[in-house]
Amino acid sequence: MTPASRLDAAFSALADPTRRAILARLALGEASVLELAEPFSMSQPAISKHLKVLEQAGLISRGRDAQRRPCRIEGKAFAEVEEWLENYRRFWEGQFRQLDALLVELKAARKKSKSGNARQPKKA
């Protein structure tokens, strides 16, 4: 799977509130399918489908304990999401608007210097 399609899978898996609730439960420790299904007014196959989505996104993995298939969180996929978000951190940490404007100016300046007539950045 390409990095892009892994992000597709992770983000779309995380877009469902039932699946996020399942992850919240798993953050407390491993759980079986029936244990995970219990809080929801939803059939067991529906939960199994959600778990399949989470597993294919790499957000959980499943073991074997007799008939039970205990689920646990897998950190790696979360880390990839976090890493992607990292690229946008500056947009919510303080001075983002100014930095944005700066980048626009830099780009404009580069374009102008290519075409040979340098221009002053407009007033801040």
Partner DNA sequence: TCATTCCATAACCAAGTGGTTCTATAACAA
Partner DNA sequence: TTGTTATAGAACCACTTGGTTATGGAATGA
| Residues engaged in binding a second copy (CB under 8 A) | 4-5, 7-8, 11-12, 14-17, 20, 23-24, 27-30, 72-76, 78-79, 81-82, 84-85, 87-89, 91-93, 96, 100-101, 103-104, 107
Q: Using CB under 7 A, count the residues that bind DNA.
A: 27
Spatial contact of 90 and 97, defined as CB atoms under 8 Å apart = no
Task: Please compute, for residue 123, the number of CA atoms within 13 A of its CA located in the half-sphere on the CB side.
Answer: 0
Choice between 12 and 113, CB closer to DNA? 12
Spatial contact of 71 and 36, defined as CB atoms under 8 Å apart = yes
Other Cβ atoms within 10 Å of 31 Cβ, number: 17
Which residue in 51, 97, 41 sits closest to 72, CA to CA? 51
Is residue 104 within the footprint of DNA (CB under 7 A)?
Answer: no
Selected from 6, 21, 25, 49, the binder of DNA by CB under 7 A is: 49
**Residue 70 interface partner, choices a second copy, DNA, none, CB cut-off 5-8 Å depending on type:** DNA
